[in-house]
Structure 1
Amino acid sequence: MSAAAWPALAIGLAKPADSALTVSRSTPSAALSEEELIAGCLRGSQTAQKQLYERYSARMMAVCLRYAQTTFEAEDVLQEGFVTVFRTLAGFRRECPLEFWIRRIMVNAALRQHRRNAPLVAVSDGDYPETLASEEFTFSNYAYGELLAVVQELAPRYRLVFNLYAIEGYTHKEIGEMLDISEGTSKSQYSRARVVLQTKLARLQPPAK
Structure 2
Amino acid sequence: MISEKIVLACRSGNRSAQKTLYKTLAQKMFMHCYRYVKQKEDAEEILSEGFIKVFANLSTVEYRDAKNFEGWVKRIMVNESLMFLRKQKVQFSDQERTSQIEIVQSWDDDLIVEDIYRLIRSLPIGYRTVFNLSVIEGYSHKEIAQKLSITESTSRSQLSKARKKLQEFMAKRK
TM-score by length of structure 2 reads: 0.85
Partner of residue 123, structure 2: 154
Deviations 1:77-130 (A, max 9, x none): 1111111111111111236711000000000010011011242235x99xxxx5
**RMSD over equivalenced CA pairs, Å:** 2.4
Partner of residue 64, structure 1: 33
* % identity of equivalent residues: 35
In structure 2, the CA distance between the partners of 1:139 and 1:45, relative to structure 1 (3 Å rule), is farther
Deviation at 1:140, TM superposition (A): 4.7
**Residue among 40, 44, 56 paired with 1:87:** 56
Partner of residue 148, structure 2: 179
**Residue among 72, 80, 102 paired with 1:109:** 80
Aligned mates of 1:73, 1:121 — CA distance in 2: 20
Residue 105 (structure 2) pairs with residue 138 (structure 1): yes
Aligned mates of 2:107, 2:59 — CA distance in 1: 38
Q: Which structure is larger by alpha-carbon Rg, 1 or 2? A: 1
In structure 2, the CA distance between the partners of 1:140 and 1:45, relative to structure 1 (3 Å rule), is farther
Unaligned 5+ residue runs, structure 1? 1-31
Deviations 1:148-193 (A, max 9, x none): 2222222222111100000001111111111111222211211111
Aligned mates of 2:103, 2:132 — CA distance in 1: 19
**Residue among 17, 38, 48 paired with 2:17:** 48
Residue 88 (structure 2) pairs with residue 121 (structure 1): no
Deviation at 1:62, TM superposition (A): 1.6
User: Is the helix fraction higher in 1 or 2?
Assistant: 2
Find the residue that maps to 1:67 and give its secondary structure. coil
Find the residue that maps to 2:35 and give its secondary structure. helix
- For the 8 Å contact 2:103–2:167, the answer to whether it is kept is no
Residue 8 (structure 2) pairs with residue 39 (structure 1): yes
Aligned mates of 1:33, 1:111 — CA distance in 2: 25
TM-score by length of structure 1 reads: 0.72
Which one has more relative contact order, counting CA pairs under 8 Å at least 6 apart?
Answer: 2
In structure 2, the CA distance between the partners of 1:136 and 1:114, relative to structure 1 (3 Å rule), is closer
What letter matches 1:100 in structure 2?
A: G
Q: How many residues align?
A: 168
